[in-house]
Amino acid sequence: MKEKNNIEWVDVHNDELMVKLGIRYPNLQPKDMSVWTKTDREKKILNKLRNRFKHSLKTGSISVGRRIPVYDKLIIQIKPIKGLKTTYSHICGQSDIPRILSNYVDSKGRNIVIKYRWVNKWYRYGDIPFWGPKS
């Protein structure tokens, strides 16, 4: 015996029925605007974080000062912080050292560099290697 399949017709112009049967997704609800607004305190914190490395993100024709044509490996030792390595290395020019060292700060903006090595000599954070014309 053959069974007859009863197929019900669906009115495609009835939006509620289409959603109820799962043929179409319901219309999206508008977003809750309280999620996207920030308090004054949150804005202040975000502004600090946004401007933290502003000096290293500048582009364009900015005068960078005197360039020193000495390039070598810069090895930096930082204070132990959970989740971070304590030694980092960069290949850079001597005039780039202050800019690179200024990027190593903790969450409160304090410097975490213990010492750094440049051209086989160790320096403390405040010391800058001297380079000048021979006298």
**Would 113 be classed as within a structural domain?**
yes
Quote the domain boundaries for residue 87: 69-124
CA angle in degrees (0–180, nearest 5) for 120-123-89: 60
Structural domain tally of the chain?
1
Tell which residue, 57, 54, 59, 43, has the closest CA to residue 109. 54
Q: Which residues pair with 73 in a beta bridge?
A: 91
**Would 110 be classed as within a structural domain?**
yes
Q: What is the dihedral of CA 80, 83, 84, 86, to 10 degrees?
A: 40
What SS3 state is found at 22?
Answer: coil
pTM: 0.49
Q: pLDDT tens digits for the chain (135 residues)?
A: 566 777 778 888 999 999 999 888 998 887 777 777 888 998 888 888 877 766 655 555 555 567 777 889 999 999 998 888 899 999 998 888 988 998 999 888 889 999 999 999 999 988 888 764 443
